[in-house]
Amino acid sequence: MKKSIYLFGILFSIVFSFTSCEDELDQLPNNAFAPESFYKTSQDFEFATRALYSGLFSGSYYGGSFLSRPDIVTDNVIVAQEGRKSNLSFYEWRYKANSAWNMMGSAYVVINRANQIIDKAGNLPDGDAKNNFLGEAHAVRALAHFDLLRVYSKVSDGSSLGMPYVTVLDPTYEAPRPTVAETLSSIISDLNDAEPLIGSGDTKSRFTKDGVNALLSRVHLYNKDYAAAIAAANKVTTEIASRATFPQVWTDSSADGVILKLDQNASIDDIGVGIEWSQSSSSGIIPEYVWSYEFASSLSASDIRLTAYNDNIPDAKGNLYNAIIKMYGEAGQQNGSVDAKVLRAAEVALNKAEAMYFTGDEAGALAELDKLRVKRYDPFASGGETGQALLEAIQYERRVELAAEGHRLFDLRRWGLGVSRSATEGEFFDGTGTAAIPTARSLSAGDYRMVFPIPQSEINIYTSFQQNPDY
């Protein structure tokens, strides 16, 4: 990959935090250690693995933008005119190569940290500890590459430009862009390597077997290998969050149904997962992006997500919004301070339902869909959908269940759908207010802006790195 990203990754891959007290081991590091004097003991690898996960929590990645921008560019939200409009260029599809979303640096730093662990694992004696560190590194490396692929590539087209799959530590290494199919093959290979290595631990803050198989179900679904998606989903044992606990998942008072999350530590993290939706001020909450009226009004009174996701909160001027409280944060913490949910059992069920539908097993798809719906609606009665109505029901539940978790744009792209916003709908709770400008109301499925541009700053350093078409 490019020298800029890789050198950056190497510099930061050796940044770990150490503490002398056992009760402070969950603190993340900031003291630098050279790789040649590190990676000697199991404790060294434990610190390195914690740094691996902490890299995922950067502001351009799971600490913020990766969970928000895939919704901001779609029909799930609308910009609030009283907010700071920090992502307005994305909302209005005005992003260009010289003002691109650069998550590449963050992702390749994570990848380099994973490569360091894999490269140095021979320093550990054979056994469960070594295998687990290796398995986690392979899994995180696969996750980061897949996220890069979703942001910067057209995953639905196997012959289109993919993203370089970096497995070496050479800071001078450069690679052309492979195809999407080649990148997906490498991702799947890494996950297949990870699954038997990872032990049977039940932590939700690190990759487990459930996490690997949950991610495999997602990757295979994108790759349209529906049989493999179903097989991976069948290996996941985590149950979907109950109706009673579901609202608590978003205040971190419950982790029911969560497979992998990244822990927000308010004492040391100065970013918030939900800060791009609204900001706190001395006079109250100022919404930046709110649920679109179309999205909010689609939620029925029987759906627990209506109150778990949405609240009609007034700002300092008394304007009433469909405020996004799903990522509002932990009780007593600053606005937006909440653990990032990377993988959940609900998504796995939806992956399986969609895969079963496309294999022709409509009865199985409906049954899997109802496993989710029975835990979201009260009262609940299956719609008994078939054919196109069943597909649309799966798509609707996926839109609602995974809203504000970094899926909407990528799902629309997978389904061959564009973005359509109302010509009249504004930002207030009843649909009044200021509608999107005419040029930000419709984005066709084939529009080049459905895929984000490669940052020009990266191309300037590695000039042979190919830009996405039309940017």
pLDDT tens-digit readout, 201-260: 779 999 999 999 999 999 999 999 999 999 999 999 999 999 999 999 999 999 999 999
Mean pLDDT of the chain: 89
For residue 158, name the pLDDT band (cuts at 50, 70, 90): very high
- Mean pLDDT value of segment 416-439: 96
For residue 391, the model assigns a pLDDT of 98
Q: Please say whether the beta carbons of 153 and 163 come within 8 A.
A: yes
- What is the pLDDT averaged over residues 54-68? 92
pLDDT at 441: 97
Q: What is the pLDDT of residue 458?
A: 87
In tens, the pLDDT along 332-365 reads 666 678 899 999 999 999 999 999 999 999 999 9
SS3 readout for the chain: CCHHHHHHHHHHHCEECCCCCHHHCCCCCCEECCHHHCCCCHHHHHHHHHHHHHHHCCCCCCCCHHHHHHHHCCCCEEECCCCCCCCHHHHCCCCCHHHCCCCHHHHHHHHHHHHHHHHHHHHCCCCHHHHHHHHHHHHHHHHHHHHHHHHHCCCCCCCCECCCCCCCCCCCCCCCCCEHHHHHHHHHHHHHHHHHHCCCCCCCCCCCHHHHHHHHHHHHHHCCCHHHHHHHHHCCCCCCCCCCCHHHHCCCCCCCCEEEEECCCCCCCCCCCCCCCEEEECCEEEECEEECHHHHHCCCCCECHHHHHEEEEECCCCCEEEEECCCCCCCCCCCCCCCEEEEEHHHHHHHHHHHHHHCCCHHHHHHHHHHHHCCCECCCCCCCCCHHHHHHHHHHHHHHHCCCCCCHHHHHHHCCCCEECCCCCCCECCCCCCCCCHHHCEECCCCHHHCCCCCHHHHHHCCCCCCCCCC
Higher pLDDT, 152 or 279: 152
Residue 74 phi, psi dihedral angles, 5° rounding: -115, -160
* In the predicted structure, residue 280 carries a pLDDT above the cut 50: yes
Indicate if the pLDDT at residue 33 is higher than 50: yes
Local confidence band at 46 (pLDDT 50, 70, 90 cut-offs): very high
In this predicted structure, the answer to whether residue 318 has a pLDDT above a threshold of 90 is no
> From the CB of residue 102, how many other CB atoms can be counted at a distance below 10 Å?
18
pLDDT value of residue 34: 60
pLDDT tens digits, one per residue of 186-209 = 999 999 999 999 987 779 999 999
Task: Confirm if 178 and 229 have CB atoms less than 8 A apart.
Answer: no
The answer on pLDDT for 278 being more than 90 is no
Q: What is the CA radius of gyration of the chain?
A: 22
pLDDT band at 331, cuts 50/70/90?
A: low
- pLDDT tier at 315 (50, 70, 90 boundaries)? confident
pLDDT of residue 177: 93
pLDDT digits (tens, 9 = 90+) for 364-400: 999 999 999 999 999 999 999 999 999 999 999 999 9
**175 to each of 1, 167, 171, 317, 401, how far by Cα in Å?**
5, 11, 12, 53, 38
pLDDT band at 25 (very low <50, low <70, confident <90, very high): very low
Residue with tokens 């930000």: 440
pTM assigned to the model: 0.92
- pLDDT of 10: 39
Give the residue from 174, 122, 152 showing the smallest Cα distance to 3: 174
Task: Tell which wins on pLDDT, 33 or 273.
Answer: 273
